Structure 1
Amino acid sequence: MEESPIYQEILEKGAKKGKLQILTRQLSRRFGTISSQLQQQLQALSINQLDDLSDALFDFSEISDLAVWLQNQQ
C-alpha cells in the first residue's frame, strides 16, 4: 500500500500543506501580513521549491525580497 501512487500523492499533499503552513507563519511573523497575491504564489510552489524557500528566507530583509524570489521561480 505504501508504494501505491495514490498513497504517495496523499503523503506529498500532506507534506506540502505542512511546509506551506510553517513558511507562511514564519513569513508573517517576520514581515507582517502576507498579501493574497503572494499567498497564491506560495501555494503554487512545489515541495522542493518550498524547501529552497525555507533556506532563502534567512537572506530576506523585507517582503519585496520574497516577491523577487518568487518571480525567479517561474
Structure 2
Amino acid sequence: MKESVIYKDIFQTGFERGLKQGIAKIIILFLTHCLGNIPEEIEAKIRSLSISKLDELADAQLDFTSLDDVMNWLSEY
C-alpha cells in the first residue's frame, strides 16, 4: 500500500517532535545531575530549542560547571 504525502508529513512531524523532547529531557536530566535543580524558565528555554541547537547544547554542557554557564549559553542562542 502506498503511503500518502499527508501521512508521511504527520509521521515525520511526530517523529521530530518526539526526538526533540527526548533530547531535551536527557540534557535536563544530565544538567540536574551535575548542577542540581534547574529553574523552570531554563528548562522551558531548553525545550524550545531546535534539534540542531539541542545537539550543540549537548556538546557544550560537558564543559558547564554552574547554572551561569547554562544561562550564558542560552542567552547566546
TM-score w.r.t. structure 1 length? 0.91
For structure 1, the 5+ residue unaligned runs are none
**Same amino acid, percent of matched pairs:** 32
CA RMSD of aligned residues (A): 1.5
- In the TM superposition, structure 1's runs of 4+ consecutive aligned residues that sit over 2 Å from their partners are none
Matched residue type, 1:71: S
Corresponding position: 1:48 with 2:42: no
SS of 2:37 mapped into structure 1 = coil
For structure 2, the 5+ residue unaligned runs are none
Structure index of larger Rg: 2
Alignment-derived partner of residue 65 in structure 1: 69
1:1-74 to 2 correspondences below 5 Å: 1=3, 4-73=8-77
Question: How much does 1:45 deviate?
Answer: 0.4
TM-score w.r.t. structure 2 length? 0.88
